[in-house]
Amino acid sequence: MKIETVCIIDDDPIFVYGTKILLNYNSSFGSSVIVHENGKEALDDLSATVKCGEKLPDIIFLDLNMPIMNGWEFLDEFTKLPMEKRPRVYIVSFSIDKQDVQKAYTYEIVKDFIEKPLSFEILTDLFKTIEAEYEAEFSL
């Protein structure tokens, strides 16, 4: 399985830039990266995508601490959208607060909580896990 589109929702330009570089070096990744600087911008765009019946990103990397609409507020609204196929959401945060980690897993759409910074190894392992889940799902 090739991951076609990744959406990064994060207000840190250094994290966004670094993540794009890491994605370019990973052979499991397709070519499209969508970036939003806050949850509201992302929610507006992804809501329009759902309304038009277009394909949502395969993966969303979501920061928690952002201006305008934070990651929690985004998740609360995003999960209300009528989606046939939900993206895999990975919270990527500097927060190592156990309450944040526990709260993340209360959202069915959240697949994992990853502590920043992302590394090539973390992304490689993540894509291998997704591939294995995809193969298991479709080999039934």
Q: What is the pLDDT along the chain (140 residues), one digit of tens a residue?
A: 578 899 999 999 999 999 999 888 876 676 789 999 999 999 999 999 999 999 999 999 999 999 999 999 999 999 999 998 899 999 999 877 899 999 999 999 999 999 998 998 998 899 888 888 877 776 65
| Cα-based distances in Å from 44 to 23, 38, 77, 88 | 24, 10, 10, 18
User: What local confidence, expressed as pLDDT, does residue 27 receive?
Assistant: 64
Q: What is the dihedral of CA 43, 98, 127, 55, to 10 degrees?
A: -20
Q: Are 82 and 89 in contact (CB under 8 A)?
A: no
User: What local confidence, expressed as pLDDT, does residue 110 receive?
Assistant: 97
pTM for this structure?
0.92
User: What local confidence, expressed as pLDDT, does residue 28 receive?
Assistant: 64
Which domains does the chain carry?
A: 3-138 (3.40.50.2300)
User: What local confidence, expressed as pLDDT, does residue 24 receive?
Assistant: 85
Residues 74 and 63: their CA atoms lie apart, in Å, by 10
Residues 121 and 23: their CA atoms lie apart, in Å, by 11
User: Which tokens in the block code for residue 64?
Assistant: 């928690």
User: What local confidence, expressed as pLDDT, does residue 103 receive?
Assistant: 95
User: What local confidence, expressed as pLDDT, does residue 99 receive?
Assistant: 94
| Residue 36 host element (H or E) | strand 29-36
Residues 37 and 119: their CA atoms lie apart, in Å, by 21
